[in-house]
Structure 1
């Protein structure tokens, strides 16, 4: 297809010049591939150099029927980045998305789980299977350390500094941070390592990867989503949850128990504290309680 070489060049630019992580590059590429699929399905034979704003508008209209405004805005942002790159490299004179605005999404507050919900999820894990011990360690790590799902699946044994009480996380943009690890999380990781992982036929290249599937390969992000969704169904939890929900809950519970935003920002790996403020939400009753507890003129 006419797009492949341009996409490969763009991916190299994102990796080498902008230093973006593999996951971020995959997300950017997915947006372009979605546009390519639209062109192919509708038999529109056009290169990225010749595509017009009218065709892009048709694509966005098509996408708007399938995804929510937030996802739509992300796709538009990804395409803008790609076509701005083509302009920067003198492949095009202008971007076909120059006049296209992203839909207003508002500030969406993330879902969180109560401590009771999290306890119920973990209690629902079938510990009679080898995968059960692994899944308990996974949920405890996601919630206990506030990790992104991409950080969890790429976590290395060599990143575990249990004696010092920390784990080393490689986050967005390959930036490293150290996150404290609690005794319970450490306990369940050690049980998984000593009783389950040690018996796996570990595939080449995965020797240092902590969490593995039954075949000894690294887990995918999709597998973690499935594990959590299945547990939610099992306990009848009427919330649309994902691995990120445990991360949101980690931050919210810390804040509710007196942790400061700056500390939470460092643990989550956010560049800006503004992101942390959006990420962490509190109900109004808790804010009122804080004000009455700590304001000098309460």
Structure 2
């Protein structure tokens, strides 16, 4: 019986909520994990599930060693599932209603300094087609704070270089306009007009900005590998991913005095609290403030 509810839940998320495929799969996967746990514990109908079962499931995940962030995300998926069941009048009480998410510690993301950003940009060999493409990609990542999925999905028809904006389709298929800096525009146009134009572009890939040497859309994995290689060439002793450029973009803007709400809009965060993680300041700067202004310093 659970299978029918899970199938209808998936249809609801796709057709009525209009969520992206990845989000839908994640929500259904979370609900399926609960179904497997209930079966493991002897099995019961979905209408018989109570708060005690959900707490037991979360405890089970904890015992498996699942991180608090992962537990919180799964609980979020379960809450969506039971809200759907309430909406469809399958349940009259939501067993997840009073359950709070696990306490999440807020880890500061890795951030590159501006000199490190420059070192990575300059690590590209601009005498090669790949070097031209990679330089343009890094410029766009740092200039506009795109997610790696948004970068590889970026289309030429959504690039308004004259106006200095990109039209980006982010999480949940939500569209936003983000500014793009002059250096990123310059490098991207050089790549598009001189390097990309020499490729034999494959059918169905004509509008994607960044292509591989076979004329197909670049993959997320390839972007990770490109950055990993450039980090080694530049000799930067940090773990750097495409997301590190996004973190650096936000941090450098906020430390430079940018409005938090504006940065939230550019990053495509639904909640301002997600953006607030970037408001950390350099520890040395904080020490200087205390030394300069505190009466007992």
For the aligned pair, the TM-score class normalised by the smaller chain equals 0.7 to 0.9
Distance between the aligned counterparts of 2:195 and 2:46, measured in 1? 50
Note the C-alpha offset of 1:143.
Answer: 0.7
Per the alignment, residue 193 of structure 1 pairs with 192
Structure-to-structure mapping, 1:26-45, within 5 angstroms: 26-32=25-31
What is the deviation of 1:104?
Answer: 1.1
Seen in structure 2, the aligned counterparts of structure 1 residues 255 and 82 have a Cα distance that, compared at 3 Å, is same
Would you say how many aligned residue pairs link Structure 1 and Structure 2?
A: 291
Does residue 145 (structure 1) correspond to residue 144 (structure 2)? The answer is: yes
Instruction: With the length of structure 1 as denominator, give the TM-score of the two structures.
Output: 0.78
Is the 2:109–2:247 contact (alpha carbons within 8 Å) kept by the matching residues of 1?
yes
Gap runs ≥5 in structure 1: 294-298
CA contact (8 A) 1:112 1:248 kept: yes
Are positions 1:84 and 2:83 aligned together? yes
d(CA) in 1 for partners of 2:36 and 2:211? 33
Q: How does 1:110-125 map to 2 (within 5 A)?
A: 110-125=109-124
Task: Assess, with a 3 A threshold, how the Cα gap between structure 1 residues 273 and 100 changes in structure 2: closer, same or farther.
Answer: closer
For the residues of structure 2 that align with 1:90 and 1:180, how far apart are their CA atoms? 45
- 8 Å CA contact 2:140, 2:146 repeated in 1: yes
Residue 55 to residue 269, structure 1, CA distance change in 2 (3 Å): closer
1:227 aligned residue: 226
Contact 1:38 1:59 in 2 (8 A): no
Q: 1:272–1:102: structure 2 CA closer, same or farther, 3 Å change rule?
A: closer
Residues 100-139 of structure 1: per-residue CA shift (max 9 Å, x gap): 5432112222221111222222333455553332222211
Report the TM-score when normalising by structure 2: 0.78
**What aligned pairs does 1:49-68 form with structure 2 within 5 A after superposition?**
54=53, 57-58=56-57, 61-62=60-61, 65-68=64-67
- Superposition RMSD on alpha carbons, in Å? 3.7
| Superposed CA offset, 1:153-191 (max 9, x none) | 221101111111222222334333322211211122122
The match for 1:260 is: 259
1:105 and 2:104 matched = yes
How far the C-alpha of 1:92 sits from its partner, in A, is: 4.7
Distance 1:126 1:33 in 2: 48
Bigger shift: residues 266-275 or 148-157: 266-275
Partner Cα separation in structure 1 for residue 198 and residue 166 of structure 2:
24
Question: Which structure: larger Rg?
Answer: 2
In the alignment, the residues of structure 2 paired with residue 177 and residue 32 of structure 1 have an alpha-carbon distance, to the nearest angstrom, of 30
Check whether the contact 1:28–1:78 (CA below 8 A) recurs between aligned residues. yes
In structure 2, the residue matched to 1:172 is 171
Q: Distance in 2 between matches of 1:120 and 1:174?
A: 34
Corresponding residue for 1:21?
20
In structure 2, distance between residues paired with 1:130 and 1:141 = 17
Contact 2:54 2:96 survives alignment (8 Å): no
Q: Which runs of 5+ in 2 are unaligned?
A: 293-297
Contact 2:132–2:195 (Cα < 8 Å) also in 1? yes
Deviation for aligned residue 1:223? 3.2
Change (3 A) 1:34 1:223: farther
8 Å contact from structure 2 (residues 120, 230) kept in 1: yes
Classify 1:88/1:8 alpha carbon distance in 2 versus 1 (closer, same or farther; 3 Å). Answer: same
